[in-house]
Structure 1
């Protein structure tokens, strides 16, 4: 049965489950224990009432919120414990006992070393018992200054997590790598409310002829729905999730409802404007214009032929004909990048309803994100509907239902990288005397593309924006049911099921008249993806005098399916009528894949006197994608924690101290697609309407493929000082990957292009540091600060068959004969993963450049030029609070990497870069020596010299990718409670937000230092991407 036929049944099942839950809730009892009525007031350290504090009965769903005066009323048994929590304050637990009236004071949250965190399987634990590093990021961090993709908001905030935002537009994906990653898939597993979600990148721009970034699964989550995000970096933390967690786990907990009087309403609204950052005004030359050999064009034909060249005469303001036949002043025209890319804007609104009683609570939210991207005629619209329900269905049974429906439409995702259809080619490479807006009419009178050059692949940017539309529409459902039965206070059983299902319709169009394919083409696709997880576990916890035990065992099955139906046609019969039925040549395709992982797992945690803890875990996975003889692997882990401050009496200035250590092994099939071990067949072609069969894969099946193995060691120290006003979290680790799975190229004479094999060994070692503190604190003023730092050293230890190196990726520069030089990313034994290679200058023993008898530099061998991945990542965050005002700013940076700039490479060839000015009038004599060691004295025309370098010397265009940025500023104001007391408002907050304000330090010219174009293996490549953006906006938050 095809997946599309199962969609209605899937939704019917969830609808039936939800209805059943409602009926159970309706008939559930009101109370199961003798309770007393409690009342009280919650204040801050200044004795000011705190409205909106969540007051819950520990271990239950019973809870209320404090009102505008900080007061609350709740029922609880005398043996119960009340938990008081609020964003920005330390949580507090208060036993009920014989009390009926409570006065509770909450302290400001001073550090990021949270007392309680969400760990693997969604289990909450005290931080002190953990033998590994875990960082909690509050949901508020993502809504203060929001991004279109929630993961972009994690930049600079967590030590050891390298977040990259590729220059692919507002609808693009993210690259998140923890502790260096490894070959192939290096991104973490995302888990939302206990269920793994599908988050693979849905498009790539580093294919042949470029491509477009179709986003990723995590990017569609509404940040307003996130309560917290736990980052599990070490394999010990992630081992219980198995193979898919070999690169770490990010656990997302969504917001829940609370028991309260009436229905609460929360509103969050943000409007921001995004402006492109144009580096060309300062890094281009504006002294010479279009032409070659120092001459201006005299006809339209000459102007078209020279359209890719700014090697003309000096700009003098005289009228000169351009490629469209119009004479315009031969004067500098700056800011073509800014003039083409619009000022974008994003308007986001989320409204949430929440409420409940002591037996059931709920939270429903609706989010709307409407983005107009800086690319003309492009943007993304996303709606999120989220419902979370918690219920106590009797004395021992609890149930949680989480459901998200996401509707998303993206229009005109930009084509990038290679020249075909990439509007950035014109924005960056038009001659210096051309105004890009003069080419805003995309078509000529005969419907042909209005080209500005004779190269049909250098597109008119407005034709790409308005005459080659693409769109995709996605409907996605993420749902889970978590049912727990407590047999008594020690034994429990838990059933957790969930699904992540999506359907995406898409279309692309090359309208008739397009330069590189005048007859046109159209294509459509209909893709379904689903993942289903079912997990059952049983657990036991107890305390015996000095000892405690917490253990569980369980099993999981994961089934993944995808199918894609595609159809296309080319050569339109009737111009301007864009339908597959209106094409001469039609084709179609269908693809179906299914895979499964079955697992068993267990964990045992032992504690001694609340200061010494030992945790053992194990999991075994069986993969359907691997050969039955090599398809399973066992992952053990052990972690230990020793809380020094609880074991021994410490000086008063030490509030908390803990050391930890862990060891773990995880495996992975690298998420290879199904059927890679089988020779598959397809019907790719036809003859006279008769289908012709053939082998349907270019990859040689490898039945000997087995899971790769990752072994990690970690040690750490956590401490807090001066009653929590300062803190440190230090971790050191070693991460070794053996039998890494690579898709390795093979000789095409075999009839195939590649094969999957266990081909490499790679190691990562590193250090992570988090410092937190409150340097200044008074009644009215407070300064909180944190600094995170991470250094990762990777090394390729071995490659298959004793190879010393292997090409991972190649840049796309220089493929159309219009300038550019190839460069590569290698895996090289003894070097960090992802080293850049390219042609170099030939130098003598003294390091001087060697020139030939024509005065041109002699190209050297292909050599190592640096590491494409920065090994050092840091972030510095500060919050200043004065009464009702607050000011946050974040500075982050990355250091130690290199970047090959394809944009700069092409700007040299075209005579646009200001470095090409020397020698324009009298020629250039390269500084260096000839082969015999004598000084070079041969003069070369500047155009010949710089074009030669651009075509032959990659070294010239490799720059440091290090940078420091002022990433974020938030200036906020909270209305005083006395202003809104007695009204319907509980809290009102208004803030001014700004992201990516300016770069404090960078080395690479023309482009932003974060302009890498891929989330894959080609790190260190940049070429003609979307410009980086600077955003400013306002945020309004209201609680009723």
Structure 2
């Protein structure tokens, strides 16, 4: 802070520091007079050698009494002359001095604080100022403030350009993360997760489509937030290029905690969260009741999921399926009482031991969740061990994690017959869900309440008669050895294994609509992922120059196998077992994949001000043709720390410009190059029938998808680091998309696999952090982030203008990639409208008129996203609030259309 600076700077300083600091000084004086006898009035100033420091803390060593400096860096305190004072400020080393009249204290910058260190690709720690690309970072303590059942949910609203979304799969469901938009039309577009230098298997063993299904969770949910030291978010290809094709959508690096140095610790962390029904079905019309086209069925069996019958004014009485006669009236919030209050209880015990060169940290976490849907619950046990030691020039680091998860009655999703949420939300507004408690007759069979509609099963039947269970065992092992050859050179070897075993049983009781004979399906998944890496790292300094380099290689292998057993026609109805069914079929599946990689990087710095980086990586993928399975891609980045030239002092202690360009490639799924075969459950005559298992025509000429990216950014800190700013502009294009194009069914295939299409993502990201109030024992922090991304489809193939991604055939609505539009256009018929946009009404029926041709109804991409975090801290207590903001995406609701 330059006192001779502009009047604007002075006003900012007065607004941010003076009022609170003066009050604090006044408030502290009476207290000091009471506890200090024979004291003198000591005055002084605190500077950084040039400029005064505003808000520096001055207190008696070993005591709590003290004060803070004012706008001119001055302070006064009543103490005995010669008393030891501690003087401190953020970004500066704490200094101890003897109290004397008219004293002047100079604080020195703490380079460890100013040179912020972040974890980058390959787990290498680097100064943030040396990076030519943007990196988001969230500390472990931020993830523990409000614990989630999936730790990745805690990133929502904290990092610009990172979008977190969930399904309705409950506490055990998966979390979807998108960084800077979708880059592939048919890929999952999710980032790579790396834990302590080893990629994590984030396989989702099951997800829902338009016709239904279950969300069977993901691998990242096995990470305990109590074990996390920090998370680094590498958003651009330049940041993630060294991780190869698996990181083409970005990387989230998780660094776990080690044992505290020279300490033995025992910790307990607990949290308890209540869950209630948030969305209430009250934004529906309350004029017309059950029925369709202005009429209803006399017996009130059909049309139970539509609310477009006659006016519901109570003038009519209806006899329902249970034989009870009731008035034809609107029932507000007719589904609310189905749900209960749920909870999540999490308890963790942490043991730490450190004896010099050896550290050991063990964590056990017990998580219990009761869902708001009756008879739905989850238990998850996580065991985590990390051990590290040093023996001479050798450093050893080992971590092991075991997760056991049991789930009862995961919710069915999409248009599943057993989707409880859908079946309740489409319930007619004159129909109370309480009436559905009569879900079975005297024989224990399904009560016909809606004409045996197979698409809307009674929710109480699903809760009390049908059921599904899942069990997951996940083992994650990592070993790392570092040989420090010299002060400047070391060799590092890492091996990791991620083993997932998952079992899912789905039982439909006899007489269930669509499963009248009963059915039990058991699926067993086994996914084993291995990573082996060898790195050589060198760093040195010569005069004004700093040099760092890495060279290494990686082998990634994954083996997956699936066994699906389906049993039909239940004979013994009292025992749910495969042996209770008359017909059983088994389907086996397996696949393998391997990527071999070589890579290297060079980092050059000059006078801690100019930095240049270059990386190159080559991958060889088993999923691509042998003549095209090796792809090489480079990246270049640079940064200029211009604050080293400005010498602006506390007004702007840090300022940096950065720029990067990068290219990454990505492959496809296994077995897309040739025909593969399987056996049918049918036999003739007495022999198994084999058939081609491909639904896609193989393509022996596939090429990897390529993404080119350019990024430029500005980072700055102002007013003694109390304001921080990070702004980024980026543009990235992904071409040679690997896409399945529809083909004639007469060919025996559904799609043909080709390279085509281009998606462009460009946008801006802004991250702003402030501390408007800083007192001795109290502070207020506000952090805001904003991101706007344009996710355009530039081209498809030949003259094609639309590529279908997913379709709801019963609505004639689809989600598609449309040339010239943002990715994820919603296409379908629309109402006929006049020039003013008003819906045209048929004068004969009084109903809206439809245009059956396709129109763009909306888009699934967000216009902009952002977040706001505010934290009040008083001594060791803090109160935080988080707002996660997503604006502008469109949703087509089948439920709203029905009601």
Instruction: Tell me the equivalent position of 2:43.
Output: none
Distance (Å, rounded) in 2 between the aligned partners of 1:48 and 1:746: 80
Q: Are 2:858 and 1:866 aligned?
A: yes
RMSD: 2.7
Q: State the match for 2:699 in structure 1.
A: 702
1:225 maps to 2:227: yes
Q: Pick from 837, 847, 861: which aligns with 2:827?
A: 837
For residue 326 of structure 1, report the CA deviation from its aligned partner.
2.4
Report Cα offsets for 1:625-676 as digits up to 9, x if no partner: 111011111120111011111244235411101111111100001xx33211
- Tell which deviates more after alignment, 593-602 or 680-689: 680-689
Name the SS for the 1:152 alignment partner: helix
2:696 maps to 1:679? no
Aligned mates of 1:160, 1:124 — CA distance in 2: 23
Q: How far apart, in 2, do the equivalents of 1:467 and 1:758 lie?
A: 48
Cα offset for 1:456? 2.8
Unaligned residue ranges in structure 1 (runs of 5+):
1-43, 52-87, 95-103, 816-820, 908-1040
Match for residue 737 of structure 2?
Answer: 740
Does the Cα contact within 8 Å between 2:182 and 2:823 map onto a contact in 1?
Answer: no
What's the TM-score once normalised by structure 2's chain length?
0.85
1:649 equivalent to 2:640? Answer no
Asked whether the equivalents of residues 411 and 471 of structure 1 are also in contact (C-alpha less than 8 Å), the reply is: yes
Aligned to 1:205: 208
Question: Counterpart of 1:920?
Answer: none
**Would you say 1:661 and 2:675 are equivalent positions?**
no
Identify the residue that residue 602 of structure 2 maps to in structure 1. 604
Q: Distance in 2 between matches of 1:480 and 1:744?
A: 41
Q: Following the alignment from structure 1 to structure 2, what is the Cα–Cα distance between the partners of residues 190 and 91?
A: 35
Q: CA deviation at 1:333?
A: 3.2
User: Which residue number in structure 2 is paired with residue 185 of structure 1?
Assistant: 188
Distance 1:433 1:500, change over 3 A: same
Separation in structure 1 between the aligned mates of residue 437 and residue 115 of structure 2, nearest angstrom: 55
The one-character-per-residue Cα deviations of 1:189-217 (angstroms, maximum 9, x if unpaired) are 0000000011133222114x211111111
Distance 1:636 1:765 in 2: 20
Counterparts of 1:104-503 in structure 2, within 5 Å, are 115-182=116-183, 183=185, 184-207=187-210, 209-261=211-263, 263-281=264-282, 283-286=283-286, 288-290=288-290, 302-310=299-307, 311-312=309-310, 314-316=312-314, 320-328=318-326, 330-394=328-392, 396-454=393-451, 455-503=453-501
- Note the alpha carbon deviations across 1:829-872, whole angstroms, 9 max, x for none: 12211112121233455545455674551415211123211031
Judge conservation of contact 1:391–1:400 (CA < 8 Å) in 2: yes
Closer/same/farther in 2, CA of residues 449 and 217 from structure 1, 3 Å limit: same
Instruction: Name the structure 1 match of 2:68.
Output: none
| 1:197-248, Cα deviation, whole Å (9 max, x unpaired) | 11133222114x2111111111221111111100000111100000011100
- The structural deviation recorded for 1:287 is 5.1
Tell me if the contact between 1:744 and 1:754 (Cα under 8 Å) persists in the aligned partners: yes
C-alpha distance in 2, partners of 1:865/1:480?
Answer: 49
Q: Structure 1 residues 336, 268: CA separation in 2 closer, same or farther (over 3 Å shift)?
A: farther
Residue equivalent to 1:824: 814
Deviation larger for 175-184 or 287-296: 287-296
Any idea what the Cα deviations from partners look like across 1:882-941, whole Å, max 9, x if unmatched? 34542211223122322212221121xxxxxxxxxxxxxxxxxxxxxxxxxxxxxxxxxx
CA shift at 1:340, angstroms? 1.4
Name the residue aligned to 1:23. Answer: none
User: Are the equivalent residues in 1 in contact too, given 2:650–2:721 (CA < 8 A)?
Assistant: no
Kindly tell me: are residues 122 and 775 of structure 1, through their superposed partners in 2, closer, same or farther at Cα, counting changes over 3 Å?
same
SS state at 1:625 partner: coil
SS in 1 for 2:627: helix
Deviation readout 1:168-197 (Å, 9 max, x if unpaired): 211111111111122222100000000001
Q: Identify if the C-alpha distance between structure 1 residues 46 and 274 changes in structure 2 by more than 3 Å, giving closer, same or farther.
A: farther
Is residue 2:550 matched to residue 1:541? no
Deviations 1:662-713 (A, max 9, x none): 11100001xx332111101111132354211111121111111111001101
Contact 2:94 2:107 in 1 (8 A): no
Q: Offset of 1:336 from its aligned partner? A: 3.5
Shift in alpha-carbon separation, 1:347–1:903, aligned structure 2, 3 A: same
> Does the CA contact (< 8 Å) of 1:726 and 1:773 recur in 2?
yes
Contact kept, 8 Å, 1:481 with 1:498, in 2: the verdict is: yes
* Pair 130,110 (structure 1): closer, same or farther in 2 beyond 3 Å: closer
| Aligned equivalent of 1:56 | none
Partner of 2:300: helix, strand, or coil? helix
Contact 2:829 2:850 in 1 (8 A): no
Matches of 2:736 and 2:817, distance apart in 1:
14
What's 2:727 paired with? 730
* Per-residue Cα deviation, 1:294-335 (whole angstroms, up to 9, x for no partner): 67765xxx1212433442453439864221212345554333
Q: Is 1:890 matched with 2:891?
A: no
Question: Is the Cα–Cα contact under 8 Å of residues 92 and 110 in structure 2 kept in the other structure?
Answer: no
> Against the structure 1 CA distance between its residues 614 and 889, is the aligned structure 2 distance closer, same or farther, given a 3 Å change threshold?
same
Match of 2:805 in 1: 808
Residues 496, 50 of structure 1: alpha-carbon distance in 2 compared, 3 angstrom cutoff: farther
* 1:545-578, Cα deviation, whole Å (9 max, x unpaired): 1111100100000000011122111011233332
CA contact (8 A) 2:234 2:240 kept: yes
Q: Structure 1 residues 886, 46: closer, same or farther in 2, change over 3 A? A: farther
Partners of 1:835 and 1:867 within 8 A in 2: yes
Matched with 1:976 is: none
Shift of 1:795: 1.4
Cα distance in structure 2, aligned partners of 1:848 and 1:563: 55
Contact 2:115-2:129 within 8 A present in 1 as well: no
8 Å CA contact retained: 1:45, 1:106: no
Q: Distance in 2 between matches of 1:519 and 1:172?
A: 30
Q: Is the 8 A contact 1:258 1:357 kept in 2?
A: no
Counterparts of 1:289 and 1:109 in 2: how far apart (Å)? Answer: 70
Tell me by how many angstroms 1:292 deviates: 6.1
Separation in structure 2 between the aligned mates of residue 798 and residue 117 of structure 1, nearest angstrom: 38
- Between 1 and 2, higher relative CO (CA 8 Å, sep ≥ 6) is seen in 1
* 2:790 equivalent in structure 1: 793
Match of 1:1004 in 2: none
* 1:926-941 map, 5 Å: none
Cα distance in 1 between the residues matched to 2:108 and 2:338: 52
The count of residues paired between Structure 1 and Structure 2 equals 803
2:24 paired residue number: none
Q: Which residue of 1 aligns with 2:99?
A: none
2:194 alignment partner, SS class? strand
Determine the C-alpha separation between the residues in 2 that align with 1:837 and 1:91.
58
Distance of aligned partners of 1:296 and 1:246 in 2 relative to their CA distance in 1, 3 Å threshold? closer
Using the size of structure 1 for normalisation, the TM-score is 0.74
Mapping of residues 872-951 of structure 1, within 5 Å: 872-907=864-899
Q: Indicate the residue corresponding to 1:763 in structure 2.
A: 760
Q: Where in structure 2 are the equivalents of 1:16-35 lying within 5 Å?
A: none
SS at match of 1:276: coil
Q: Does structure 1 conserve the Cα–Cα contact (< 8 Å) formed by 2:227 and 2:256?
A: yes
How has the CA–CA distance of structure 1 residues 822 and 656 changed in structure 2, closer, same or farther, with 3 Å as cutoff? same
Deviations 1:43-78 (A, max 9, x none): x95659999xxxxxxxxxxxxxxxxxxxxxxxxxxx
1:569 and 1:456 map into 2 onto residues whose CA distance is 20
**Structure 1 position 110, deviation (Å):** 15
Post-superposition shift, 1:823? 1.8
Deviates further, 837-846 or 749-758: 837-846
